[in-house]
Amino acid sequence: MYLVFPDVATIADFVADALASQVRARPESVLGLATGGTMEPVYARFLERVRQTRLDVSRLRSFNLDEYIGLTPDHPQSYAAYMKQHLFDVLGFDPLRHHLPDGCAPDEDGYCRHYSSAIYQAGGIDLQLLGVGRNGHIGFNEPGTAFDSTTHVVSLDERTRIDNSRFFAEGELVPGRAITMGLRDIMSAREILLVATGAAKAPTLAAFHRSGVTPELPFSVLKQHPRVRIVLDAEAARLLPAQACQPMVQAVLPARSA
């Protein structure tokens, strides 16, 4: 069942509430964090919740999904810079608690093994946030990625590079490689929340609905996870059968003063 919200604002409220509830219930939670345009309103709303409710985030831990190879953390299009801008400048960043894959590690294979084992040493991810690429990638696990993959280096699909070029300056090349948590790392999370918004994702969700579990559509592996919620706006859900969609309107709207 897909949870379908009228718009991006109501999704952001819902996901921000889910994150805040997780942190309230377990302040030392380990979150799996995603980047991309989809998450920007989510993080903005979450920071509002942190401020409004004085949520204690001092013990929170996190692991980011992915990073471009070759971009240093101060490169404006690195995911490290994205996280700083959208979350950590306000939340506070402690490198001992908040982990971002290093896109410039000299020993790539050794670093990948270290990143996956750090997740397990932290006790595993309690709540994993995911966006999805138009080709069904999660993190940067492109079509064809093995389901038992751990953190690894990938060559990006041409379509992914074109899609992500909107975040780069004109004429600046999107890196061809990235480091990403693997599908096994993602599936090890105790709970998963995938968010997709906008009409461009509608065919991807329709393919997910029709598809069996196949590496050709990496996020189809989520069908095997016991606690996954797929959160969509009306545009992303537009090609899904109505009976598979649970409309989410009043029930999740937080009380607002008039």
Q: Catalytic amino acids?
A: 66, 135, 137, 142
Judged by CB under 6 A, does residue 164 bind ligand GLP? yes
Burial class (CB in 10 A: 0-12, 13-18, 19+), 165: middle
Residues numbered 237 to 256 that lie near ligand GLP (CB under 6 A) are none
DSSP string across 118-158: HHHHTT--SEEEE---TTS-BTTB-TT--TT--SEEEEPPH
Check binding of 182 to ligand GLP (CB under 6 A). no
The two structure tokens encoding residue 180: 């990403």
Residue 139 found at the interface with ligand GLP (CB under 6 A): yes
Min. distance of Cβ 243 from ligand GLP in angstroms? 27
Contacting range for ligand GLP; rule: CB under 6 A; set: 35-43, 90-98, 225-233, 237-245:
35-43
Region of residue 227 (left: phi > 0; alpha: psi -120 to 50; beta: else): beta
- With contacts defined by CB under 6 A, name the span among 8-16, 19-27, 29-37, 86-94 that binds ligand GLP: 29-37
Tokens standing for 128?
Answer: 């994993």
Residue whose CB is less far from ligand GLP, 166 or 256: 166
Say whether 196 sits in a helix, a strand or coil: strand
x/- track of binding to ligand GLP for residues 37-56 (CB under 6 A): xx------------------
End-to-end CA distance of the chain: 33
Residue 35 touches ligand GLP, criterion: CB under 6 A: yes
In the complex with ligand GLP, which residue's Cβ is closer, 167 or 253? 167
**Closest approach of Cβ 166 to ligand GLP, in Å?**
8
SS3 41: helix
What is the Cα–Cα distance from 169 to 165, expressed in whole angstroms? Answer: 8
User: Could you say whether residue 188 binds ligand GLP (CB under 6 A)?
Assistant: no
Binding site for ligand GLP (CB under 6 A): 34-38, 65-66, 131-133, 139-140, 160, 164
